[in-house]
Chain A
Amino acid sequence: MSDDKGYSGNALDCLKKNNVKVGDSIKITSELTYSGILMPRYESGDDKHLVLKLGSGYNVGIDVDEIQKIQVVSSSEVKPKQSQEKKDDPTLPKILLLSTGGTIASKVDYRTGAVTPALSASDLNEAVPELGKIANIDAEVLFSEYSENLQPEHWTEIAEKLDSLANSDYKGILIAHGTDTMHYTSSFLSFALAGFPIPVALVGSQRSSDRPSSDAAPNLIAASKFLVESNTKGIFLVMHHNDNDQTVACHAGTRVRKNHTSKRGAFETIGGDPAFTVFEGKVTKNIQDEFFKDAKYNPRIKIDTKVALVKYHPGYEPKLIENLIQTGCRAIIFEGTGLGHVGRTMYDVIKKAKENDLFLGMTSQCIDGRVRMTVYESGRDLLELGITPLENMTPETSLVKAMWALGNSKNTDEMKSLMLENIASEF
């Protein structure tokens, strides 16, 4: 936020003329007299009003043109933040909390009226003191971005950071992350850090930490419990299981998807139960299989993003695929209809993509269920054209896996073989 705290034009002139700063306790005389604290202005607000927080706690906009006089009752004072010295309990395990941003680490921005990433990892640690009873939490900020701004470069940065901690004495690692693309990040980490020796929990919230009904604290507490008590390895995504604050789900990082825009129970494990659940602090294992199919740690952190995720629909223009080929795309993951189909209008361009040695994988836009391309003639045609069915892997996980496999293989055959290998419970 600028020094003017969102004020401009007439409103800013009025503040300067009266030597008033945001945060000052003031008395405004207009038709009536109002006392309160001058608040910042929303970025989209006009330049005709000052925002005053009245003693009742309500904010009001007062027309600048009607103001006769402003008196400063007391100036805003900056209260130095008292940092409490962290005292570790030697009997508790250690957890590292890495913050990448998102709603879980955000508060309301009075410039825009929206929530923005602002709280630091140690702010979170202080805001949820229950964490200190579960483990000694170290906190570190990697970056502070909403997840829609996170790119594959950020995934590799997180992976490299985790790789550097593979032999540390941490019992587990928490990653505070924005929820929108959290399942993409969890998928990448699952492949790039196959066999990682300690559990990793990506944790987010659908309601910002600065509101009483935030899901941030229950999710963080449950994720910490899970890391300390689950005795497992893997990359998990930990969020509310449903409407209630009491149950938190730990989803396998490659099987999870955000299926609702705003509910706190937005994330679901596709095609099964969450790997673990934490109900009022008690951790329960719901699956028998190990997350990583090979227990040996095998970090492969390279990535090549020349991959497209194409959702086929009636009326799909085949030339769009030609454009992808021309722009250097090396792999296409189709989100086909039903059991894994695209219309015959696509056959010629698919043939062309194969001639250009692209990897072509098929998933389903039904999201849940397995593609089965031998049932109908169109599926068999597509198999004949060289499309690889990707079983029940979700479209998003398939996309991320394709980027990872492309970055870690020498040719299309090798990439195909990686795509079909079950590495981190993606099938």
Chain B
Amino acid sequence: MAEIDFEKIGLKVGLEIHQQLDTHKKLFCKCRPVESDEYTEKFSRSLRTAKSELGELDPAALFEKAKSKKINYYANSQSSCLVEKDDEPPHELDHDAKKISLLISSMLESKIFSEIHVMRKTRLAFKGPCLFPKEEI
């Protein structure tokens, strides 16, 4: 197999680390971030495509829409509330989570933007219906 000249093809590789933070509550609500296998609540949604601020539709969303799926969600009432269900606007960003993130970023010598923007996802992510990102830059 021919050796690839990464510099020539302009390859850039990023590393994305996902780590659940040990905070007292979740990022956008007062629910405790507990782990549980009990999902006593059930609700269903038919998510649709939505345009971004730039007026564009996400191709992945269009693909999912074409499948016209009804999505059943199972929830634990201790660790999820109306915010998770997108039945209540998100609360203030958790202060501890923000503090820990900034601390880790500083330790990694990351460049920290001086202003954080919380955004709504326009992509259909079937992990949860609330469609608020769990991370900010």
Contact = CB atoms under 8 A, between A and B. Distances in A.
A31 B115 CA distance: 15
A207 B53 contact: no
A213 B113 contact: no
Given A37-B54, A39-B53, A62-B114, 13 more contacts: A31-B111, A58-B119, A58-B133, A60-B113, A60-B116, A61-B116, A210-B50, A212-B121, A243-B87, A244-B45, A262-B82, A262-B88, A263-B88
Given A37-B54, A212-B47, A212-B122, A54 B137 contact: yes
Contact of B49 (A37, A60, A108, A212): A212
A233 interface: no
Nearest to A32: B111
Contacts of A204: none
Given A212-B122, A246-B44, A61 B131 contact: no
Contact of B50 (A53, A211, A264): A211
28 contacts: A37-B54, A49-B115, A56-B137, A57-B119, A58-B119, A58-B136, A61-B113, A62-B115, A63-B115, A79-B55, A108-B53, A110-B53, A206-B87, A207-B86, A210-B50, A211-B122, A212-B121, A213-B130, A217-B48, A243-B43, A243-B85, A244-B45, A245-B44, A245-B70, A246-B44, A246-B46, A262-B87, A263-B87
B124 interface: yes
B127 interface: no
A58 B137 contact: yes
B18 to A, nearest CB: 15
A210 B59 CA distance: 16
Interface of A: 31-32, 37, 39, 48-49, 51, 53-54, 56-63, 79, 108, 110, 206-207, 209-214, 217-218, 243-246, 261-264
B117 interface: yes
Interface in B7-47: 43-47
Nearest to B128: A213
Nearest to A49: B115
Contact of A53 (B48, B53, B111, B124): B53
Given A31-B111, A39-B53, A62-B113, A213 B86 contact: yes
Given A262-B82, A262-B89, A264-B87, A212 B115 contact: no
Contacts of A206: 87
4 nearest CB pairs, A to B:
A61-B115, A243-B43, A59-B117, A60-B113
Contacts, number: 92
Interface residues of B, number: 39
Interface of B: 43-55, 61, 70, 82, 85-89, 111, 113-117, 119-124, 129-131, 133, 136-137
A126 to B, nearest CB: 11
A213 B131 contact: yes
Instruction: Identify which of A213, A214, A262 gathers the most chain B CB atoms within 10 Å of its CB.
Output: A213
B117 A108 contact: no
A49 B113 CA distance: 10
A48 B40 CA distance: 48
Nearest to A56: B137
A56 B55 CA distance: 16
Given A31-B111, A58-B137, A108-B120, A211 B87 contact: no
Contact of B114 (A32, A61, A245): A61
Nearest to B47: A212
Nearest to B111: A32
A209 B88 CA distance: 16
A213 B122 CA distance: 10
Given A59-B117, A262-B88, A212 B43 contact: no
B3 to A, nearest CB: 28
B137 A211 contact: no
A244 B122 contact: no
B129 A213 contact: yes
Nearest to B122: A212
A61 B111 CA distance: 12
A58 B117 contact: yes
Instruction: Identify which of B48, B70, B114, B122 gathers the most chain A CB atoms within 10 Å of its CB.
Output: B48
Given A53-B53, A61-B113, A61-B115, A213 B45 contact: yes
Contacts of A207: 86
B124 to A, nearest CB: 5
A212 B124 contact: yes
Contact of B45 (A62, A79, A209, A245): A245
A57 B136 CA distance: 11
Contacts of A32: 111
